[in-house]
Chains A and B, each alone.
Chain A
């Protein structure tokens, strides 16, 4: 068995939590995108010493969906009302 000895980037978990919260509360979505993108950047630049790319990526993805919902909703409100 090969043990994954990489250190996990702490911001990756933060991005995941913010991204999931952003689905309910759109206010968190931009922070999820920002945190997730920064975390991915650090992980890629670490030459394999930092882990958590999946969490960061999923957080960024969830944040993007949450933000899209907010933007569509706000745009709709101003166009329709």
Chain B
């Protein structure tokens, strides 16, 4: 009896220790080890490129920030074009799995050629002219959404054609001096989750995983409460991904590595956004984020950089929070990794995880999506944005909490998505941009162009016409140009600077502090802004006009406090072009 009791006690303790290892205690322990692990350093010759390498600077006691090779804080402003996303083509609603509509072969976009647009697709094709238009608005970056279904259409077979198409867009951006964030995009997991049983497929905006990696276990596909994420098949497919059913997560990691292998020496690529708007499936917060999502991010970073955080585990099956991942031989130690906080945070504007350190790799960026009053709880309760009772802290709540989350994780902060319907620009867009200025974070605006939907920077094409259309869009929306084509500091040695832009008057002011010998502060002024530029205090300025009418102000500090101002003047918006 005593022996049996002894065995039972031993088994019970071993069981508890094992369970502790794969749950929160293990996750916390590994995170603390990661936190104490010295960051890896990239060795060897630094590949030179058109743009400065970006990294994340970690000031003592301060919020990490994206920096260039001179150590200056860099603000990325950009938009999100959806032309490379494998969206479902709605031309034949009875067919749930049509082939990609827009050509993948880069030759179809050579020169100034752009394939025909169609209202059956949610967005127009992405062409060279689009990138030039972005640059003309003063954007210095773009977030380029990609689809796993096009990277790895068959299991283990990676598409060189799609990679070539991505490289083509990266090349266009390089020509314009713009950074590209390669975004592994998904919405509602995949367009292969299946159509409702009545055959009326409406999978518009569904995208992400290839058919072979979409395991729905027979759950029916139907969007409840008009939300594509509230779909049993989508929830089941997501759950299977997070538990690495059939090794599909391993394949995803291999896809990111495939991408990184191609761009690891490319300065135009700012980094990789690992997973867009992760949906927990049937899992609950904060266990989803802490035990599944962020450990998954760690594994991707392990695989691509070779930093080796986390414990070695078997792959091909469910991997616990303590697991790292094997080095896939890419050794990309120079790019940023953008970590999306997840869909539940987007709904709550509140942290849905405990902010555990993810990786010893230093170039991490917490990628928040700012959709206050659009997808937050108040909107689910059908409150008007201008009379909403939530978030209690207003627009500021999401930003101030995200800043703390980022600091805990050891990441810089970036608004990887925000946007709204144009009728709310004066309220929502204005407030979001004010918060971004206040918190000194860059942004990517959703979306560049959109067919039939209304969120694009441009008016949509005629959506009653379902024949192929030569035009990608209608006119550039004046309010969007006014608000998003802004005067802003592109780089500064002072990460605590403050700046304000008034989109109504074109007036701008910046206050900063510099030590003698600090590198210059660069301020971009779009063509629409015509006010006079003055610099006062301990700095001198030089203004270089661009061919498009924009101005680039280089402010060279001599040590001390300085300020830069652009006087108010009527804006000359381009409008329809």
Contacts and interface: CB of A to CB of B under 8 A. Distances in A.
A15 B66 CA distance: 48
A19 B15 CA distance: 12
Q: Is the interface of A mostly helix, strand, loop or mixed?
A: helix
A54 interface: yes
B247 interface: no
Interface stretch (B17-25, B79-87, B519-527): B17-25
B405 to A, nearest CB: 7
Contacts of A65: 16, 20, 25
A25 B1 CA distance: 34
A77 B20 contact: no
Given A54-B9, A61-B16, A66 B407 contact: no
Interface string A8-50: 0000000000011001111000000000000000000000000
A23 B8 contact: no
Contacts of A80: 355, 407-408, 410
A4 B16 contact: no
B1 A81 contact: no
A58 B11 CA distance: 10
B16 A72 contact: no
A24 B19 CA distance: 9
B207 to A, nearest CB: 32
A23 B355 contact: no
Given A73-B356, A80-B355, A26 B1 contact: no
A81 B404 contact: yes
A69 B25 contact: yes
Interface in A61-77: 61-62, 65-66, 68-70, 72-73, 76-77
A56 to B, nearest CB: 11
B12 interface: yes
B116 interface: no
B463 interface: no
B532 to A, nearest CB: 41
Chain B interface size range: 20 to 34
Contact of B407 (A58, A68, A81): A81
A77 B354 CA distance: 7
B25 A20 contact: no
A4 B361 CA distance: 56
B544 interface: no
B45 interface: no
A49 B291 CA distance: 42
B1 A73 contact: no
A69 B31 CA distance: 11
Given A20-B16, A23-B20, A73-B356, A54 B28 contact: no
Contacts of B16: 19-20, 23, 58, 61-62, 65
B13 interface: yes
B404 A24 contact: no
B28 A73 contact: yes
Contact of A81 (B9, B35, B291, B405): B405
B227 interface: no
B412 to A, nearest CB: 14
A72 B404 CA distance: 17
B366 to A, nearest CB: 11
A58 B12 contact: yes
Contacts of B356: 73, 76
B405 A23 contact: no
Interface in B26-63: 27-29, 32, 35
A72 B28 contact: yes
Given A73-B356, A77-B354, A77-B355, A58 B24 contact: no
A68 B25 contact: yes
Interface in B426-456: none
Interface of A: 2, 4, 19-20, 23-26, 54-55, 57-58, 61-62, 65-66, 68-70, 72-73, 76-77, 80-81
26 contacts: A4-B1, A20-B19, A24-B24, A24-B287, A62-B16, A62-B19, A66-B20, A66-B23, A66-B24, A69-B20, A69-B24, A69-B25, A69-B27, A70-B24, A72-B32, A73-B28, A76-B32, A76-B356, A77-B355, A77-B408, A80-B355, A80-B407, A80-B408, A80-B410, A81-B405, A81-B408
Given A23-B20, A23-B23, 14 more contacts: A23-B25, A24-B23, A54-B9, A54-B12, A55-B12, A58-B13, A62-B16, A65-B25, A69-B24, A69-B25, A80-B355, A80-B407, A80-B408, A81-B404
Nearest 10 CB-CB pairs, A to B?
A81-B404, A23-B23, A69-B25, A81-B408, A58-B12, A69-B28, A80-B408, A69-B24, A81-B407, A62-B16
